[in-house]
A = this chain, B = another copy of it.
Amino acid sequence: MNKRIRIKDIAKVAGVSKGTVDRVLHNRGNVSTKARDKVIAAMEKLEYEPNVIASALASKKSWQIAVLIPGHEGDPFWEQPLEGIHRAVKTLRDYGVQIDYYPFRDADPEHFRSLGQRILRTPYDALLVAPSFARESHELLDHCDAKGLKYVEINTLLERETSCFLAYIGQDSYASGVLAAKLLNFEMSPGATAIILHLEKEVYNARHLLDKQAGFEDFFNKQAEKHIHVVQESYGDIQDLTGTECFIREMLAKYPATQGIFVSTSKLFRVVPAIKKYQQKPVSLIGFDLIEQNLAYLASGDISFLINQNPYKQGFLGMMNLFNHLVLKRDIQRLQFLPLDVVMRENVRYYVEEEYEKMHIVI
């Protein structure tokens, strides 16, 4: 019985035409204050809520969105956010949402910068970005702020107080470091050494890695009973197989009491063979992301834990949040931390077989 209130109903109650109601609703101007007041009163009285469907059908606007994230040649992790983005766009097609994909090369800030400049030259409605390189990203986003181009960040959080920063969707990097430490701690004995290993170049320019390290160190420093010794190492040239093997051998020789290793990215699988080769005593390994190679080592027992950063959701929700803001004009939350899923042999399949989730669309 409670029939849905329509624009027509408001017009009748306010004693104006639906055109005038529409102008009030969309702040299109050219409305006398008298008419506006009557319309607003009628709207409040009738508790009008717009019909999203009719609105979407009538609107012929289209939304161009630039997507600036790492390509997945360098890192298979990035397949998943892209998949999430595509799934979102597919279901939003009727709403006129379209994307241009700008994949930048892993570990190549210059490439990031040049793609960013191309994006700035094109008239986009919004930007979805993974701001991997702190310096270059701030530079790009400063330009966005100046131009009024709104953006959503995924995977790496660069906190910005501007109005063009719509939202961040991704993990809380500090907390993921704490979690990794707590999990490793289960399998370590007093006095042992825990290594945090960054397999990246220019770690100082990657905010999320520094945050993970801080969390990891803080846990062990606060938890004093076991006296775990925490050290940090980094190695950027993992394409070079023999170099990587050498580095691991020397690292393990340097810390003979090592009982746990935390790799701060998805690239743990790249060093597992070398660790197995050169480490005599048992060692617990923990890393990020459920990519194929990591999962194989989880299944074989070589990796103890993987922390799932929900990459698919990062892309999917990133897109959906842009849609909610731009098209549906809804408020969106600025900081959206995704769950840090603890994945082990026993529960891994629920994270891998998440196809069910991909069948759905978030509006």
Q: Mark A302-336, 1 if CB is under 8 A from B, else 0.
A: 00000000000000010010001000001011001
CB distance from A297 to the nearest CB of B (A): 18
Interface assignment of A28: CB less than 8 Å from any CB of chain B? no
Q: Which residues of B contact A31 (CB under 8 A)?
A: none
- State in angstroms the CA–CA spacing of A320 and B91 once bound together: 15
Interface assignment of A339: CB less than 8 Å from any CB of chain B? yes
Interface assignment of A233: CB less than 8 Å from any CB of chain B? no
Number of residues on chain A facing chain B (CB within 8 A) = 47
Stretch at the interface among A75-83, A178-186, A201-209, A243-251: A178-186
- State in angstroms the CA–CA spacing of A219 and B346 once bound together: 10
- Chain B residue nearest to A180 in the complex (CB): B346
* Count of identical protomers in the assembly: 2
Interface assignment of A340: CB less than 8 Å from any CB of chain B? yes
Interface assignment of A57: CB less than 8 Å from any CB of chain B? yes
Q: Given the known inter-chain contacts A57-B53, A94-B52, A95-B53, please indicate yes or no for A338 contacting B360, CB distance below 8 A.
A: no
Contact of A57 among B54, B175, B317 (CB under 8 A): B54
Contact A342 B350 (CB under 8 A): no
CB distance from A320 to the nearest CB of B (A): 6
Interface assignment of A146: CB less than 8 Å from any CB of chain B? no
Contact B175 A347 (CB under 8 A): yes
- State in angstroms the CA–CA spacing of A320 and B358 once bound together: 13
Q: Which residues of B contact A359 (CB under 8 A)?
A: 324, 330, 332-333
CB distance from A219 to the nearest CB of B (A): 8
A window 198-216: CB within 8 A of B? none
CB distance from A180 to the nearest CB of B (A): 9
Contact of A350 among B54, B172, B182, B320 (CB under 8 A): B172
Contact B355 A347 (CB under 8 A): no
- State in angstroms the CA–CA spacing of A332 and B330 once bound together: 29
Interface assignment of A101: CB less than 8 Å from any CB of chain B? no
Q: Mark A167-178, 1 if CB is under 8 A from B, else 0.
A: 001001001001
- State in angstroms the CA–CA spacing of A317 and B94 once bound together: 22
- State in angstroms the CA–CA spacing of A145 and B355 once bound together: 27
Q: Which residues of B contact A330 (CB under 8 A)?
A: 359
Contact A363 B53 (CB under 8 A): no
Interface assignment of A353: CB less than 8 Å from any CB of chain B? yes
CB distance from A316 to the nearest CB of B (A): 10
Interface assignment of A362: CB less than 8 Å from any CB of chain B? yes
Q: Which residues of B contact A240 (CB under 8 A)?
A: none
Contact residues of A with B, CB < 8 Å? 4, 51-54, 56-57, 91, 93-95, 169, 172, 175, 178-179, 182, 186, 219, 317, 320, 324, 330, 332-333, 336-342, 344, 346-347, 349-351, 353-356, 359-363
**23 A-B contact pairs sorted by A residue (CB < 8 Å):** A4-B94, A53-B94, A53-B95, A169-B356, A172-B350, A175-B347, A175-B349, A175-B350, A182-B346, A317-B356, A333-B355, A333-B359, A336-B356, A337-B353, A338-B350, A339-B341, A339-B347, A339-B354, A340-B347, A340-B350, A342-B342, A362-B362, A362-B363
Given A175-B350, A339-B354, A361-B362, 4 more A-B residue pairs with CB atoms under 8 Å apart are A4-B93, A175-B346, A341-B341, A360-B362
